[in-house]
Structure 1
Amino acid sequence: MSIDPQQSISGFIATQPRLTVGENGVSRFHARVGIEHARQEPDGSFTQLDPTFHDLAIFRKTAEEAAARFRKGDRFIASGRVHEYTYSKDGQEVTAEEFIASRIGHDLARTRYDVDRSTRRTDAGHDAPDLKSPAHDPVARPQASVPSRASL
């Protein structure tokens, strides 16, 4: 099976994120994001260029999680796709684009944080298995006896 590549961006949250819920009940996270750019010079050094600013949208459960965890200034990495669309402004058709992220996380190279590995609830409302319980400890868990090919 081959790797299915997606587009990705990294940058910083430039505006305070907003979480809204549409008429259809779907949650939507929106923020303006900045993407930094640099130019490599002939001597091998880099010159920092002005950032560009873009719209970032995330939907459904990921939108709710992002709204709880991201704020203005946070550094992120997101994967998803660019969505081009048109809208009318002052009687003119305007073409615009936004990045729709299917996954997003803080940028490890630029963010300090602690990882919380406590149990999360699944979408079905049931508790997920506790990875710290003895039942999930491969050393403590009794192994089921599996007959070998020789004994079959």
Structure 2
Amino acid sequence: MAFHIQQSLSGFIASDPQQSVTENGDARFYVRIGQPHFRHEYSGSFTALEPTFHDLVAYRATAERALNRLAKGDSFIAEGYVHTFQVERDGEVIQREEFVAKKIGHDLARTNYQVDRTHLDSSDTARDTEVKHEAEAAHTGSGR
């Protein structure tokens, strides 16, 4: 089976998260995010450049989880896609874009935390066992 691949985005939460509700009644999460940029120098070192800032949104369950877990200053990694749209400002139509996060979480390389697994129930354990058996079968079937 082929990999399911989407666009990804990493950076830091630059604004306080905002919560709203869509016309359909779905939860919506909105933040401004920053992306650090660096220039690789001839010497092998890196020079920090000014970050760029962008809009990020999430909807439904992802929005609710993000609102509970993410705060200004957090480093994150998100999976999703870029949504391009037009808005009218002062009679002029301008092109805007936002990253729509379908999945989002803290960046492991830049965040210290502990994982709480007390919520695991028997169905999670059964699923994990099934995945382990499938992985073992694939490994054994590969002739290694």
TM-score for both structures, normalised by structure 2: 0.83
Query: Which structure has more helix as a fraction of its residues?
Result: 2
Partner of 1:129: 122
- Runs ≥4 residues deviating over 6 A: none
Question: Alpha-carbon deviations, 1:74-95, whole Å to 9, x = none?
Answer: 0000011011100100000010
The 5 Å alignment of 1:68-147 reads: 68-119=68-119, 128-129=121-122
What are the ranges of 5 or more consecutive residues in structure 1 without an aligned counterpart? 121-127, 139-152
Within 2, Cα distance between the matches of 1:33 and 1:78?
11
Separation in structure 1 between the aligned mates of residue 4 and residue 117 of structure 2, nearest angstrom? 28
| SS across alignment from 2:122 | coil
Amino acid at match of 1:96: R
For 1:125, the equivalent position in structure 2 comes to none
Structure number with greater Rg is 1
Q: Identity over aligned residues, as a percent?
A: 52
Matches within 5 A, 1:31-70: 31-70=31-70
- Matching residue's letter, 1:55: D
Give the structure-1-normalised TM-score. Answer: 0.78
1:23 shift after superposition: 2.8
Give how far 1:131 is off: 5.8
Q: How far is the alpha carbon of 1:130 from its aligned partner? A: 6.8
Q: Which runs of 5+ in 2 are unaligned?
A: 130-144
1:59-113 Cα offsets, whole Å, 9 max, x none, are 0001000000001000000011011100100000010100001100101111110
